[in-house]
Amino acid sequence: MSVHKALILHAKKQNELFNEFSLLDQQREDYIQEAIELCKSGKDFTTDQINQITMQINVLANQRFIPTRKLVTPEMVRSYVESLK
């Protein structure tokens, strides 16, 4: 395989990983926003979906130079909502 083809293949793989990360990161942000809105209105919420996505992101991060994300606790959401008041 020529160096040129190897570089193209590598760039394609990097781009696919980054796109996957971007989609997961947006899903994570959407779930965080949903938890915040539920917390603001005094409704029950969980961080399960947030953390499932977070773990998927962190698996990707172990493969390449993608930033990891912290798991989110309900206390973190409540604290954030309290700081908005």
For the record, the structure tokens of 81 come out as 């909502």
Total residue length of the chain:
85
Domain tally, the chain: 1
- Statement: the pTM of the whole predicted model exceeds 0.85: no
Write out the residue range of the structural domain in which residue 70 sits: 3-84
Which DSSP state fits 41? T
What per-residue confidence (pLDDT) applies to 28?
97
- Name which of 18, 15, 12 is nearest 57 in CA terms: 18
- What pLDDT, in 10s, does the model give residues 39-60? 999 999 999 999 999 999 999 8
What per-residue confidence (pLDDT) applies to 1?
64
